[in-house]
Amino acid sequence: MISSKKIKCGECGAPMELRQSRYGPFYGCTNWPKCSGTHGAHPNGAPLGKPADKQTKLARIAAHDAFERYWHTLGWHRGRAYKWLTEQLEIDAKECHIGRFDVTTCEKVIAICRVIPPPGPQPDL
């Protein structure tokens, strides 16, 4: 399990603590109710990406929607899609997680997913 002391709220920067809901674990800001920052967690308590403010969360949702729609339309599997995205963004595969992206990177994802089919040679997997 990840130490919740290392998870900082994307809204106010305060520590977040692992909490339980009827939907499973999540991180909640320790400044609640002043701050209502939350962040998703895997069943084992590991955070889902990096906590973010509302603007970044909305950008990540839009980028994820555009990317999912893109690779599903092309009939790709997830591995092929992420390999392609890694190449388009020119980043290391270990860093290619939309849940870690900032607003600018999310905007790049949306822009490159507007072109179907993608230009150039397709990655072989």
Sorted by where each begins, the domain ranges of the chain are 4-40, 54-112
pLDDT digits (tens, 9 = 90+) for 9-38: 999 999 999 999 999 999 999 999 999 999
Which residue in this structure is represented by tokens 């900032």? 102
Global confidence as pTM: 0.76
Of all residues in the chain, the percent with pLDDT exceeding 90 is 74
Q: For strand 38-40 and strand 24-29, is the pairing parallel, antiparallel, or unpaired?
A: antiparallel
Query: Using an 8 Å Cβ cutoff, are 51 and 10 in contact?
Result: yes
Is 3 a residue whose pLDDT tops 90? Answer: no
| pLDDT mean over 39-53 | 90
pLDDT at position 115: 79
